[in-house]
Structure 1
Amino acid sequence: MSSFWRNQFEKNFLPAQTKLGLDEIIQEAHDAYWGSLGASLMKFNGEIDPAKLKSLDQLYNGESAVRTAAKDCYDYAINGRLSLAKDGEEETRMNDNWARLATLVLSARPDIEVFSPRIGGHEMVLPKGLEHLLFQALVRARLDLDTHPKFEDDEAVPMFLSGEDNCGYLTLKEIAVLGQMSERAVRNAAQPAAADRLQTRKEQSQTVVDSEEALRWLKGRRGFIATRAD
Structure 2
Amino acid sequence: MFDELRTIFLFEADHVLISSGPKKAEAFIGFPPGEKGEYVHEATSKVDLSLFANITASFERAYEFAFNRSRLNTFGEEEVQDLQAFMEGTPRIGGISSAGEMHRFMTPDGYCRMVADAALARWKLEWAGDDSAKFTTRELALLANMSEGAVRMAISDKSEGRLKTIPGSKPVAVRFDEAKRWLSGRRGFIPWPERAADDRFLTRAIRDAETPKVLARLVHQVAGFESADKLARKLGWKPADVQPWFDGTFVFDADRAGEIAKALQLDVPMFVGKALEVTLRATEGGRS
Under TM normalisation by the shorter chain, which class is it?
Answer: 0.5 to 0.7
Give me the TM-score of the superposition, normalised by structure 1: 0.54
Counterpart residue number, 2:176 = 211
- The match for 1:67 among 39, 46, 56 is 56
TM-score by length of 2: 0.45
**Identical pairs, percent:** 22
The separation in 2 between residues aligned to 1:175 and 1:36, in whole angstroms, is 31
Alignment of 1:41-190 (within 5 A): 41-45=17-21, 50=26, 53-54=29-30, 62-81=51-70, 83=73, 95=78, 101-110=83-92, 113-115=93-95, 127=105, 128-145=110-127, 151-152=128-129, 167-190=132-155
Check 1:215–1:33 CA distance in 2 against 1; reply closer, same or farther (3 A cut): same
Larger radius of gyration: 2
Q: CA deviation at 1:114?
A: 3.1
Alignment partner, residue 197 of structure 1: 161
How far 1:34 sits from its partner (Å)? 4.2
* Structure 2 gap segments, 5+ residues each: 33-48, 195-223, 225-288
CA contact (8 A) 2:84 2:117 kept: no
1:103 offset after TM fit, Å?
Answer: 3.5
Structure 1: how far apart are the matches of 2:150 and 2:22? 49
Paired residues in the alignment total 171
Cα displacement (A) at 1:131: 1.6
2:191 — aligned with what?
226
Q: Which runs of 5+ in 1 are unaligned?
A: 1-24, 86-90, 146-150, 153-164
Q: Flag the 1:189–1:51 CA change in 2: closer, same or farther, 3 A.
A: closer
CA contact (8 A) 1:198 1:214 kept: no
Structure 2: distance between partners of 1:99 and 1:78: 18
Give the conservation status (yes or no) of the 8 Å contact 2:13–2:25: no
> CA, structure 1 residues 28+98, in 2 after alignment: closer, same or farther (shift >3 Å)?
farther
CA contact (8 A) 2:144 2:183 kept: yes
More strand by share: 1
